Amino acid sequence: MKKLFAILLVLAMLSACVGEKPAENIPEVSEKTENAENTSRETEEQITAETPEKIEIKDAVSYKGENGKFGFHKNGKPVTEPIFDEIIERQDEFKGKKIYEALITEGKRMEFVTDPKKGPYLEECPNTLYYIFDEDGNRINEEPLDDYYVMAPYSYGNGTYDWFLEGTHNGDYYKYSVRKDGTYFLHSKSSAGAYFVLSNRATWEEYIETEYHWGVSQYKHGLTDLDGNVILEDLYMSISTPYPDRIYAYIGWAFQSADEVRLEIYDFEGNLINNEYNYVEQHNTEDYYFLVGYCFGESASEICYDENGVPHEAGWWFVDESGNKLSERFEHISVEKYMTYNGGMWNIEKVTVTDENGTKKEISIEPYKRSFS
């Protein structure tokens, strides 16, 4: 009897230790995603928990629980607990199977918002999470998603296809696919955070360019110092540090044409220096460079506004690294005619400018040359 009691005591002690993890291994959660992380963690525990006995069948895949929430069933047998606010059938299919989005909204999170005059900024919004299931009640995405997109089947041209579900959560990007046996798996992941190392060309102090996915098609860049202090939030299409003490941050979606972006120039304290141009273009020679800034005014896809919401004047100027104008306004500045290739470098001494009357003339770039040193 004593021996049996000792065995039972050992088993109880082992059972109590199962699943314990040291506290130091639990990562810290940033303020940007704290509420969203807590919600998704609690939801994951509920999805896999025991399902109730009594259910009200709503349709072929969903049922309503006594708590007024919805869950998935298969042939009348619950597959998940009723924890979802809504279950919606999608028009998309995933390898021949209908798919459904199950939504849970709880808490708040920050969302990327863009305003034509104000520009991009962050705004608090409801924390809606998406869980994607197939018609058999199998979940496709391991992580809850803030945003997602079902891609068209990818053809390899030999009669074989791949199916992909893209999504984002807390700045990370996920892509899920399906195996030949019908099981789902994480195909690839891109994590938010450090993206590239940049330097202040005045001090050569290093900074971190960051990346954050606010949605499937909204991956943006920001800048922090090496201690993680934010200089620019993750709001920009691209960030570079081409000149001493200056940060070039472009707003927009793609560099398909210069009028689809606009430039904001900052110092390394995060102070805005200039926002008058859609683009500033650098032209190099062996010994010097010069800069041309241009603004497309109200005809641009991305209009450059001043602090009062008034569009900046359209035109072309020779400028310095901070965007200060070094010349009068021109309707256009063209350099291509005078670009000659010499010993591995382009040589440019003259350009063609067009004035407001449409008159073209050749001018020297001597007054606008900038030194590399």
The predicted-structure confidence for 192-220, as pLDDT tens digits, reads as follows 999 999 999 999 999 999 999 999 989 99
- Looking at 190, 224, 247, the residue that finishes a domain is 190
Alpha-carbon gap, residue 336 to 359, rounded angstroms: 18
Q: Distance between CA atoms of 130 and 150, rounded to whole angstroms? A: 13
Residue 20 has pLDDT above 70, yes or no: no
Q: What is the side-by-side strand order in the sheet with 238-243?
A: 238-243, 246-252, 261-266, 272-274
pLDDT tens for 263-318 read 999 999 999 999 999 999 999 887 889 999 999 999 999 999 998 899 999 999 99
Q: Residues 42, 117: one domain?
A: yes
* 307 in the same domain as 211: yes
Let me know if residue 11 belongs to a domain: no
The terminus-to-terminus CA distance of the chain in angstroms comes to 89
Residues 123-144 pLDDT 10s:
999 999 999 999 988 999 999 9
Task: Give the structural domain span for 145.
Answer: 33-190
Residue 21 has pLDDT above 50, yes or no: no
Whether 221 maps to a domain, the answer reads yes
Q: How many domains are there within the chain?
A: 2
My answer on whether 134 and 268 are in the same domain is no
Q: Does residue 180 lie in a domain region?
A: yes
pLDDT tens digit string along 311-370?
A: 999 999 999 999 999 999 999 999 875 556 655 566 788 899 999 999 999 999 999 999
Q: Which residues pair with 178 in a beta bridge?
A: 184
Tell whether the model's pLDDT for residue 95 goes beyond 80.
Answer: yes
Q: Of 295, 209, 284, 191, which Cα lies nearest the Cα of 248?
A: 209
Are 305 and 213 contained in the same domain? yes
Token duo for residue 282: 């650098």
Task: Please tell me the predicted confidence (pLDDT) of residue 257.
Answer: 82
Question: Which tens digits make up the pLDDT trace of 240-264?
Answer: 999 999 999 999 987 778 889 999 9
Whether residue 142 is found in the same domain as residue 230: no
Q: Cα torsion at 299, 305, 310, 313 (round to 10°)? A: -60
| Judgement on whether residues 139 and 176 belong to the same structural domain of the protein | yes
Residue 81 placed within a domain: yes
Same domain, residue pair 77 and 173: yes
The pLDDT of residue 58 is 92
Tell whether 14 is covered by a domain. Answer: no
pLDDT digits (tens, 9 = 90+) for 171-189: 999 999 998 888 999 999 9
Q: Look-up: residue for tokens 């120039």?
A: 265
> What pLDDT, on a 0 to 100 scale, did the predictor assign at position 344?
57
The confidence score (pLDDT) of residue 24 equals 31
The domain boundary, picked from 142, 158, 190, lies at 190
pLDDT computed for residue 43 by the predictor: 56
240 and 292 part of one domain:
yes
Same domain, 183 and 218: no
**Who wins on pLDDT, 17 or 358?**
358
Q: Kindly state whether residues 267 and 144 are assigned to the same domain.
A: no
Of 184, 82, 167, 94, which is closest to residue 129 (Cα–Cα)?
167
* pLDDT, position 364: 92
| Within a domain: 319 | yes
- Is a pLDDT exceeding 90 seen at residue 7? no
| Whole-number pLDDT of residue 13 | 36
Same-domain status, 161 and 231: no
Q: What is the DSSP string of 306-339?
A: -TTSPBPPPEEEEE-TT--B-S--BSEEE-GGG-
- H or E segment and range at residue 8: helix 2-17
Residue ending a domain, among 151, 172, 190, is 190
